[in-house]
Amino acid sequence: MEKIYMDNNATTAVKPEVLEAMLPYFCEQFGNPSSVHWAGRMVGGAIDKARQQVADLLHCSPAEVIFLSCGSEGDNYAIKGTADALKDKGNHIITTAVEHPAVLETCQALEKDGFEVTYLGVDQDGSLDLKELEAAITDKTILISVMWANNETGNIYPIEKIGQIAKKHKIRFHTDAVQAAGKIPVDVRKANVDMAVISGHKIGAPKGVGAMYLKRGTRISRFMHGGHQERNRRAGTHNVPGIVGMGLACELAQQSMESDYKYVRALRDKLEDGILSTIPDVKLNGHPNADLRLPNTLNVSFNYIEGESLLLFFDMKGIAASSGSACTSGSLEPSHVMGAMGVDIVLAHSSTRFSLGPNNTEKEIDFILQELPAIVQRLREMSPLYNRTSPAPLSCDECRMVSCSH
């Protein structure tokens, strides 16, 4: 059975060139870059090079790049570090209801410590109202945090415009650029961003390495205490192979961004058009204007079907995708992003994400389009919500309450 991987927003395969570049840093150039001796000196240059490669992708100075363990660490550091450093200035943070949990849960944790957080809503397309954002600013606002692109829908947020608003009001601006980096241009200076977080494993580097842009002069409290690595901003021995891999992955992404965009988008558009035109009762989740979404992401809800069932049937055909259903998120609620967009609860449980990459082929798209209608129809025939005449039990009030607690 052919294996088709369309879950690149979850993680990507390490690019062969990246792995090759990393290999010398395990057994041969194994030194700790903080050491003064030959073994340490052997690897110092590698970190500098990677820092430059990351800086080139983000359009900043290498001195403004901090290496971390992952995107979540970066979001935690940016938000908690700012909250602590600026707590005398104010206690209000503005973010959105569609952020990654690394941002949302960090903000929720700060609420317990006395911070106030505004979670901006989105419309049915997932778009923000920038007037609402600006109106939410108070004299206590210390941080605006808005993701560059959404992991579930691929929606791209107007980071440059938000950057202008932040600059006008002199408020620090953090963006989770994990999904955007490498797929679309991310220019942190042009966008007036103060902090931007990216993750290696989303762009062909291994898991366990991330990076953050921290604008020169930005006051932030340390998150990881210990050694003096990363100019005292992030303790912990450098993950040298990971950092080397991350650097090269950034360079490769930068080199092929335009061609990848065109190639991946053509495949995604074909999949999108094919699904929407051949399968009835399918809803596109995300902005209807494909220019306002990442080129690789397609999120659709196949009405009447629960997402995990669909993924299991896909899996039997070798197709790897993901879903916003409660069953796949490990919680009892479907995707918070679908909820924020006002997507009907059944449709939220049905939401299915295909996230493509440059390794996908048109043949794979054809295969999915060929297999999908029968899978969807089979599950619909099994569903009590399909072709239903009586009203469905759509809320806990309308049907027998069941134990929904863990």
CB of residue 68 to other proteins, shortest distance in Å:
30
Residue of 143, 23, 160, 43 whose CA lies nearest to 89: 143
| Distance, CA of 331 to CA of 323 (rounded, Å) | 12
* Residues 356-385 contacting other proteins, CB under 8 A: 381-385
Size of the site for other proteins (CB under 8 A): 38
- Determine whether 327 is an active site residue: yes
* Residues 302-321 contacting other proteins, CB under 8 A: 304-309, 312-313, 316
Residue (229 or 309) nearer to other proteins, CB: 309
Residue (24 or 339) nearer to other proteins, CB: 339
Q: Which two tokens stand for residue 15?
A: 């690019």
Options 10-18, 34-42, 98-106, 394-402: segment touching other proteins (CB under 8 A): 394-402
Q: Is 389 in the site for other proteins (CB under 8 A)?
A: no
Q: Is 403 in the site for other proteins (CB under 8 A)?
A: yes
Among 106, 325, 355, 360, binds other proteins (CB under 8 A): 325
Which of 27, 107, 327, 399 is catalytic? The answer is: 327
Q: Is 393 in the site for other proteins (CB under 8 A)?
A: yes
| Cβ(210)–Cβ(69) below 8 Å | yes
Residue (232 or 403) nearer to other proteins, CB: 403
Options 29-37, 79-87, 197-205, 330-338: segment touching other proteins (CB under 8 A): 330-338
Among 346, 367, 371, 377, binds other proteins (CB under 8 A): 346
Which residues contact other proteins by CB under 8 A?
304-309, 312-313, 316, 325-327, 330, 332-334, 345-346, 349, 381-385, 392-396, 398-406
Which active-site residues does the annotation give? 327
